[in-house]
Chain A
Amino acid sequence: MDRFLGFVKKEFFHIFRDRRTMIILFGIPIMQLMLFGTVITNEIKDARIAIYDQSKDEVTQEITAKLLSSGYFLLDRNLESAKDIEGIFKQGRVKEVLVFGRDFSRKLKREGKANVHIIADASDPNLGKMLASYTTGIINDYIFKQMGDLHLPMQIEPEVRMVYNEGLKSVYMFVPGIMAMILMLISAMMTSISITREKELGTMEILLVSPLRPAQIILGKVMPYLVLSIINALVILGIGHFIFGVPIKGSWVLLMGESILFIMMALSLGIMISSLAKTQMVAMFISLIALMLPTILLSGFIFSIENMPLPLQVVSHIIPPRWFIVILRNIMLKGVGLAYVWKETLILVFMSAVFVTVAVKKFKTRLE
């Protein structure tokens, strides 16, 4: 036991004395969280629009005022002719142009029908789609409120409610994703690098000829990263909850339990990588390319799995963060208990077991 503790102590020295390691451990998580939480967002805020109002009557004025007061849109300018539309899009600042037809309010009252064109810049398709739907929503809302007393012959009014994330805040989605990504990065990459570093520097040779058992070496390597990853998980959840207001409806205990399980899975993956890689470079490349990219692209963190082509959907099953993100979202946003996430939990347990087995089998008590 003293041996093991001595080894763990040595590992902590390595970590705390290497500035790069410290930055990766604590700088990157916080930075990424801040970046994803604030900069990269699917929400619309202060999008610049131009309006070509051919009627300039009270209804179009009211609709314009309602749009601009929503907080989503900012009026860039008023256009005087249809010819200007193309030019203004080319300038690039304005993302949407609204064209009200002639005699808007009169037509609306007399024929119950009036024309408004919504032209959105779809060079960013998601943004264009969203702008259009936000605008339509606001206009419809206005019409319903104004014409409520008209009693049309038949009317279906869909009432939409976005449960678990009423405000459609993207940070709700990013926090679990970032958590999975960062824990993966720290646990798998850092352990694999720290083990391969011993191989590269030749110190593994001395450790091997010492009475330390392979299990002691591996556990000693992993232990500090387990502790630091748990701290990181708490920090990420803390920032998400207290700064970005992501709700944590389920139990903290279950949440941390699942996080620790995921960390262990990532650590065993890291050990497995280190037993396959000979140098730190190789270990880092495997971790980055084989772990980070799938984590970002295939885990459902940014792109939803349901919309992927079938082959990629199949591949996504072997991406551990996919399951962890489901668990996190369920616990944090829906507040469910273990009864609802036992399947995903079991998958993670199984994956850890596989990685540990391979790692232990592959760990060499000799140099070859």
Chain B
Amino acid sequence: MIEVRQISKSYNDVQALKDISFSVEKGELFGLIGPDGAGKTSLMRILMTLLLPGGGEAKMAGLDVVKDYRKIRRLVGYMPGRFSLYQDLTVEENLSFFATVFGTTIEENYDLIKDIYVQIEPFKNRLAGRLSGGMKQKLALSCALIHKPEILVLDEPTTGVDAVSRKEFWEMLKKLQQQGITILVSTPYMDEAGLCDRVALMQKGEILSIDSPEQIVSNYDRPLLAVRSDEMHRLIHDLRQWDQVETAYAFGQFVHVTPVDKQVKPETVTAYLEQLNHQNIQSSFIRAGIEDVFMALMTRESRSVQSQ
């Protein structure tokens, strides 16, 4: 449904996208995961025909993003990263405006947006600018869906939204996927990666890895330790100082540690920390999550750049 072949894009001297290639199947929920500045927005804008690619070609539903941009615009729904509805129009006015613009009516496609719209319908006479973050996203999604798009492109839809609304939002995306809509979504939150069918991990304009979240995790062959003590801050510092540790990142209450030597045991870590007077030390092997993998890939990438 989406075909991207060696797309590149530069802004002045900065190369935002470097020969990106991937494809998304029909009905797939595909995630672009990466930190700010990874090039996710540029890529989406190129696919949405809002930017011209610097090189390469891309197709949406078989249509070229440069030549057939007008046709693409009719069959794609888009939700930009910034809240881009009219703040001085009410919820209902916004929705009916976008319906009119796409030559349809709210009634005609009500089925598709019903699940989402019922949640904001009680506020339909409220100005969009006065909605909460979560409700704004629901309205924006309703507006992006009002013309029954075949492909839905969402640029960081859950940024700045509370945890409950984020969860609800992903449930909605799953439902839309079941109705046969192909969804391309970007997010900086790695915990959301697990909710996609396949993800592309992006950094600095490059794709580090494309696979299903499960595969990405199971392909990871390094051991990983979860460590904690009473003094979190000193713990990270001490671990990073230790020559047995390759990386140490804070994950909630624990520090995830990748040891240099694959044979390192949790007890060794505990013993080392006891020497340094840490209290209540816990140390055990854990299965790597997608975040750990991404962190590892990112570190490896930046090391190889440095060694060049």
Residues of chain A having any CB pair with chain B under 8 Å: 2-3, 5-7, 9-10, 13-14, 17-18, 201-203, 205-212, 365-368
Contact = CB atoms under 8 A, between A and B. Distances in A.
Most chain A CB within 10 A, of B74, B89, B97, B101, is at B101
Contact of B88 (A3, A14, A366): A14
Nearest to A220: B101
A367 B9 CA distance: 14
Nearest to B140: A206
Task: Bin the interface of chain B by size.
Answer: 20 to 34
Nearest to A205: B80
A14 B86 contact: yes
A10 B74 contact: no
Given A2-B100, A203-B84, A206-B143, 5 more contacts: A6-B100, A205-B80, A208-B50, A209-B50, A368-B51
B262 interface: no
A201 B70 CA distance: 23
B26 interface: no
A56 B52 CA distance: 91
B49 A209 contact: yes
A186 B53 CA distance: 39
A13 B80 contact: no
A312 to B, nearest CB: 40
B68 to A, nearest CB: 13
B76 interface: yes
B88 A209 contact: no
Contact of A210 (B83, B88, B101): B101
Given A17-B88, A211-B73, A367-B45, A206 B102 contact: no
B101 A211 contact: yes
A367 B48 CA distance: 11
12 contacts: A7-B97, A10-B86, A10-B89, A14-B88, A17-B88, A205-B84, A206-B85, A207-B101, A209-B49, A209-B76, A210-B73, A210-B101
A199 to B, nearest CB: 11
A13 B89 contact: yes
B80 A6 contact: no
A17 B103 CA distance: 25
B170 interface: no
B100 A211 contact: no
Contacts of A206: 78, 80, 84-85, 98, 143
A3 B51 contact: no
A367 B41 CA distance: 12
A25 to B, nearest CB: 16
Contacts of B86: 10, 13-14, 203
B97 A6 contact: yes
B193 to A, nearest CB: 25
A209 B48 contact: yes
Pick the most buried of A5, A14, A206, A367: most chain B CB atoms within 10 A of its CB.
Answer: A206
Contact of B52 (A5, A9, A366): A366
Contacts of A366: 49-52, 69
Given A10-B89, A209-B48, A366-B51, A202 B98 contact: no
Contacts of A367: 45, 50-51
B108 to A, nearest CB: 13
Contacts of B100: 2-3, 5-7
A10 B97 contact: yes
Which 5 A-B pairs rank lowest in CB-CB distance, beginning with the nearest? A6-B100, A202-B84, A202-B82, A367-B50, A210-B101
A348 to B, nearest CB: 33
A211 B52 CA distance: 18
A280 B300 CA distance: 44
A216 to B, nearest CB: 9
